[in-house]
Chains A and B, each alone.
Chain A
Amino acid sequence: MIHGGNPALELDGVCAAYGPYRALFGVSFSVQEGAALALLGPNGAGKSTVARVVSGLVPASSGRIRVGGSDVTGKPAWAIARTGLSHVPEGRGVFDSLSVEENLVLSLRRRAGRRNLAASLERAYARFPLLAERRHHRVGTLSGGQQRLVSLAKVLVVPPRVLVADELSLGLAPSVVDDVYAAFADVRRSGTALVVVEQQVDRALGLASTAVVLEHGSVAYVGPPSGARGVVAQVLSRRSRPGSADRR
């Protein structure tokens, strides 16, 4: 794998807002191919907003976003997805009303190609036998953890150029979290640039080569994971001081 060279994902002074409510103030960082970045911060810091801006769900009000060197700022979400960026959103990221197989087909047909569809489905089922059993069940009938597996299967079978995973391990049993992190390591090995949003700081820092800590929509720290622990602790303690929690 080539490390260095073009960054797979690059943010440059990105600001964003929800209608009148501003959420990001000049966020910059970049991730190389095959590298992993842990995006940390307290609740409401703007981690999910960064993920949404990157994937085009929320438009950037200023700043630039580049995927694989080409500018995607202002492009619609589907066009950004086609440049090879996968965003697994917070919470449910699959279609409740469709079956497991339909969910996989929807994702894999475009990314693996129509001809490789059957083969990539087989690979997904081989990796997660549980999904093979449930392939014709509606996803809405699956447990939250099983739904995450569907999300994971989609990105594992055809690794994207950039994977943005927003709290993918939230609320999962520890053994399943291990699965998730094993999967992250897998896709990373195949050259995917990873952006992992996490509540479990230690897990994320163990995986990451870079850490970004957000506070109130701005970057409080960028650098090696070793330095991030202190900053996170500091940010959290600032937040829990009385009177400062609601300030925006």
Chain B
Amino acid sequence: MEQLLGFAVPGVPYGCAYAVFAVGLVLTYQTTGVFNFGYGAQAYASAFVFAWLVDDHAWPTWAAFVCAVVVLGPGLGLVFDRFLFRRIPSTNTTAKIVTGLSLLVGIPALLPVVFGNGNLVGAPSIVFNPGTVYFHLGAGVPVNGTYLSAALFTVAMLVVLVLLLRTTHLGLEMRAAAESSRLLELEGVNARRVTATAWAVSGLMAGIAGVLLAPTEVTIQPQDYVTLMVAAIAAAACAALRSMPVAALFGVLIGVVSLTAQGYLPTSSFWYSAVLPAFPFIVLVGALLFVPGLRRLGQATDPLSSVDPPLPLPAARARGREIDRIVRTGFWALLFAFVASMLTWMPPAWETVLNQGMAYSVVFLSVTFLTGTAGQLSLAQATLAGIAAFTAGQLASHLGLDFLAGAVLGALAASLVAGLLAFASLRLRGLGLALMTLAAALLFDVAVFPAQAVSGGTGGLALESRWLPLDLLSSNGHAYFLLAFVVLVVCAGAVTLVQRGTVGRFLAAMRGSELGAAGVGVNLAWQRVLAFALSGALAGVGGTLLAIQQTVIAPGEFNYQLSLAFVVIVVTTGVGTVEGAIQAGIGLVVLEQLLQYAPQRMQGLAFVVFAIGALTYAAHPEGIVELEKRRWTGRAERALKRLRRAPAPAVTGRP
């Protein structure tokens, strides 16, 4: 008993942290209808600014608290509402997810740019002194300030929020606004103001949570907040995103059970090294599969959504014959110039970078295919790429298979995993599906990829090959370029063919409306599994290509953060077209390379740029690059007409 307590009590602060975040997620979902992936980033921002003010600028704690929590917390929430989530139609789940993700990716990358890089040490606790032991539980289990403030704060926050939501009129209005702000407006309530208040409250909670939980970590790292977020997501999912007390309970349980198990399990066992770190994700998968309330997640709740005009149709792709000829000529000229420069004068540093960009483009094609064509959101594309890369590497070094053969089998393996993932989550859609893929990505991150048998442990996996001249490919930029170029062209061609074929039309129907597609006889289950499998194969090919360039694959190479970034990046350039994926791949590496010349603190800026781009997704689902392209083709077309003085056809009349 004594021993059990000794193991369990240190789990309390972790559990409380999960609980506080889980409650925040449920609160935001219940009052705004948005599953706010950016919640962790909000908390991180407050903690970061708080520590920055206290450590670097020697502000008194209270003043820093006011500035970082009372002002910044709700402020961020209000900004999110005013400029982002308010503009998203309530039925557009994908846009909500992508927006949340770009906040999660963008904010931690932005903060060092604004405030400078520095390892910020957790600021002093405000209530109890973290180190002081206040009393003992039983005979010998010390309870220090950290535990006390965590427990106290969690309970206080829970009570306040439950009272707010369940007993006040404002709470009632908030819950109503989350279901349908229009219906609430018909009752004479200014629903925008109610929703803004809800965002401010949730921002304040995120800020308080971020600052009060900071002392439990040694330094303030964005990863900690993301990991925290995932455990919190698991707890919130167990409560079907509905009940705050249940979410809190599961949060505490996850923390306590993890640390208790950590105490009892032998450190050398598989359970300790693989299963334990994955525990929250296993809980998340379990919840997604078995909590019935989650299946309806992301389903439209607003009975008045029929008031919204339909989404704008993709603008006509048909260009005038003139423009088309110019564009085609320009395209071939550009392609030729690109190939020629890569093979002649391109400096080696840039050649490497552009090569990598092409490999990324192949992975991004998988996002284009899955999200753009089939309308399914996956947050595990980097994981799929990693599965293929590690499979290929292992087959080459252990089974004596050549790397080339391994690469093919690797792509198959990725495709298989993706298909299985889709099959397991057939009953989920929208947000549920996104969370499922995220959980899978995290599972692989902590439990599979670091394993000795998979990646060769921390040192990474060195590639070997007989037929494929790997040494040449990794050292000679030209050779790699030719390989990557061929692979990219083949993959892009394949995606285009599938998009234009029957399967593509079925998938497009599914993207438009699952119900409608089912109505005209599309087998949704099969189509979804197929879409995932194909996209898994693409991601796998891209991952292997990336691996060839690096010759050694590190276990952390294909982490879930990369997957999140992938979605955000591709959505920025244009998720609907093959060009979008290639622009995304090249754009990412070029931007990163350019930033090499910038001061060190600017390093994260590439992701910020893409995150900002992705924030326009709600307004322009075709992607901003695609949008600009269409605008400019339109302009050119008009200019050409004016040049010819051809009479413009009338554009009036009802559509």
Which of these, B169, B182, B655, contacts A57 with CB under 8 Å?
A: B182
Residues of A within 8 A of B654 (CB): 21-22, 248
Given contacts A20-B655, A21-B309, contact A92 B190 (CB under 8 A): no
Which of these, A58, A78, A86, A95, contacts B180 with CB under 8 Å?
A: A95
In the bound complex, do residue B172 and residue A102 qualify as a contact, i.e. CB atoms below 8 Å apart?
A: yes
| B-contact 0/1 string along A97-116, CB 8 Å cutoff | 11000100111011100000
Number of interface residues of B (CB under 8 A): 28
Residues of A within 8 A of B521 (CB): none
How far apart are the CA atoms of A85 and B307 in the complex, in Å?
Answer: 18
Is B185 positioned at the interface, with any CB of A under 8 Å from its CB? yes
Is B399 positioned at the interface, with any CB of A under 8 Å from its CB? no
Which of these, B187, B304, B312, contacts A106 with CB under 8 Å?
A: B187
Is A52 positioned at the interface, with any CB of B under 8 Å from its CB? yes
B655 and chain A: residue at smallest CB distance: A20
How far apart are the CA atoms of A109 and B169 in the complex, in Å?
Answer: 9
A88 and chain B: residue at smallest CB distance: B186
Given contacts A102-B172, A105-B172, A106-B176, contact A52 B186 (CB under 8 A): no
Residues of B within 8 A of A86 (CB): 186
Output the least CB separation between B12 and chain A (Å): 33
How far apart are the CA atoms of A87 and B182 in the complex, in Å?
Answer: 11
How far apart are the CA atoms of A77 and B172 in the complex, in Å?
Answer: 19
B308 and chain A: residue at smallest CB distance: A18
Residues of A within 8 A of B173 (CB): 106
In the bound complex, do residue B172 and residue A98 qualify as a contact, i.e. CB atoms below 8 Å apart?
A: yes
Residues of A within 8 A of B304 (CB): 57, 89
Given contacts A77-B182, A93-B183, A97-B301, contact A110 B189 (CB under 8 A): yes
Is B138 positioned at the interface, with any CB of A under 8 Å from its CB? no
| A-contact 0/1 string along B304-328, CB 8 Å cutoff | 1001111010000000000000000
B311 and chain A: residue at smallest CB distance: A19
Is A238 positioned at the interface, with any CB of B under 8 Å from its CB? no
Is A55 positioned at the interface, with any CB of B under 8 Å from its CB? yes
Is B188 positioned at the interface, with any CB of A under 8 Å from its CB? yes
Q: Which of B185, B186, B189 has the most CB of A within 10 A?
A: B186
Output the least CB separation between A135 and chain B (Å): 14
| B-contact 0/1 string along A176-219, CB 8 Å cutoff | 00000000000000000000000000000000000000000000
How far apart are the CA atoms of A22 and B654 in the complex, in Å?
Answer: 7
How far apart are the CA atoms of A125 and B90 in the complex, in Å?
Answer: 33
Given contacts A19-B312, A21-B655, A57-B182, contact A110 B307 (CB under 8 A): no
Is A96 positioned at the interface, with any CB of B under 8 Å from its CB? yes
Is B81 positioned at the interface, with any CB of A under 8 Å from its CB? no
Given contacts A20-B309, A97-B178, A98-B175, 9 further A-B contacts (CB under 8 A): A19-B309, A52-B307, A76-B185, A76-B190, A78-B185, A78-B188, A81-B185, A96-B301, A111-B188
19 pairs across A/B with beta carbons < 8 Å?
A: A19-B309, A19-B310, A20-B655, A21-B654, A21-B655, A57-B304, A78-B184, A78-B191, A81-B185, A81-B186, A89-B186, A89-B304, A93-B186, A96-B301, A97-B301, A105-B169, A106-B172, A106-B187, A248-B654
Shortest beta-carbon contacts, A-B, top 3: A19-B309, A81-B188, A77-B185
Q: Which residues of A contact B (CB under 8 A)?
A: 18-22, 52, 55-58, 76-78, 81-82, 86-87, 89, 91-98, 102, 105-107, 109-111, 248
